Amino acid sequence: KAGVTQTPRYLIKTRGQQVTLSCSPISGHRSVSWYQQTPGQGLQFLFEYFSETQRNKGNFPGRFSGRQFSNSRSEMNVSTLELGDSALYLCASSSAFTGGGETQYFGPGTRLLVL
């Protein structure tokens, strides 16, 4: 099976702009989770989508949003970018039929730099 893919892999934006990142899960996986990875804060959970519904949400401001399509592909959007949003954004997919405990498989990430 093909792994989790993320596009684009690298992105440079300026403060105040918005950005959309895309994630294609492993075929058959219906859960997609997003994480932010920074040197200072480590890996932090953003949100999780299952069957086009947000099922879980982390402690991030409302500028961070996401959605999931009927084919399980997911996008996350960050509006009004701040310098502190510079990070590696990871997407992970799992079968997650029971809503917990299933292994999550990670994509390569999108590295966002905000200038």
Partner 1 sequence: AQRVTQPEKLLSVFKGAPVELKCNYSYSGSPELFWYVQYSRQRLQLLLRHISRESIKGFTADLNKGETSFHLKKPFAQEEDSAMYYCALTSGSRLTFGEGTQLTVNP
Q: Which of 75, 79, 106, 111 binds partner 1 (CB under 8 A)?
A: 106
Q: Which of 31, 36, 72, 110 binds partner 1 (CB under 8 A)?
A: 31
Q: Is 74 in the site for partner 1 (CB under 8 A)?
A: no
The answer to whether the peptide bond before residue 108 is cis (omega within 30 degrees of 0) is no
Q: Is 60 in the site for partner 1 (CB under 8 A)?
A: no
Report DSSP state, residue 83: G
Residue 95 structure tokens: 């079968």
CA dihedral 73, 106, 88, 53 (to 10 degrees): 40
| Measured distance CA(70)–CA(88) in Å, rounded | 26
Q: Is 28 in the site for partner 1 (CB under 8 A)?
A: no
| Beta carbon nearer to partner 1, 20 or 56 | 56
Q: Which residues bind partner 1 (CB under 8 A)?
A: 3, 31, 33, 35, 42-45, 48, 50, 55-56, 58, 90, 92, 94, 96, 99-109
